Copies of this chain bind each other. A is one copy, B any other.
Amino acid sequence: MSPASSGAHDREEGLAFQPKFGADGLATCVTIDAGRGEVLMVAHMNAEALAATLATGVVHYWSRSRGALWRKGDTSGQTQRLIEMRVDCDQDAFLAFVAVGGDGGACHTGRRSCFYRRIETGPAGPRLTFVGTTGSG
């Protein structure tokens, strides 16, 4: 086995945490409501956000729009307490299972999940339809 494939094998089958960030320093985090099992949002973490999340048990992201570390909930009250975190085979994506504080929402539009529209196909091309993932209130 070549050193390169040995490295890939270790990353996929080993127990060492070796997170892999892209050229922009970011990795994808998919955040799931630990109670409902519902995907709430997709956001990004850099090494600092990941380390802060694991150290504090409160989910931090990297805000690409603001170019800043973002502890989710600081403004909205919609904090995300980390219940469990997983990493994928090549260690460049994370799943965060969370308990949401505040009103239970995650989306800045006020909805519980950011994925509140379904894509419908038809002769005129794809269109969106709202689905029933309303706020928790």
Interface residues in chain A, defined as those with a beta carbon under 8 Å from any beta carbon in chain B: 12-17, 28, 30, 32, 37, 39, 41-42, 54-55, 84-89, 93-95, 107-109, 111, 114-119, 121, 125-129, 131
For this chain, the copies found in one complex come to: 2
Contact status of A109 and B28, CB under 8 A, knowing A42-B93, A54-B119 = no
CB distance from A35 to the nearest CB of B (A): 13
Is there an interface contact between A118 and B42, defined as CB atoms closer than 8 Å? Answer: no
The chain B residue with its CB closest to the CB of A32 is B39
Which of B15, B30, B41, B54 sits near A42, CB closer than 8 Å? B30
Shortest beta-carbon contacts, A-B, top 6: A88-B114, A42-B93, A17-B126, A86-B115, A85-B119, A15-B128
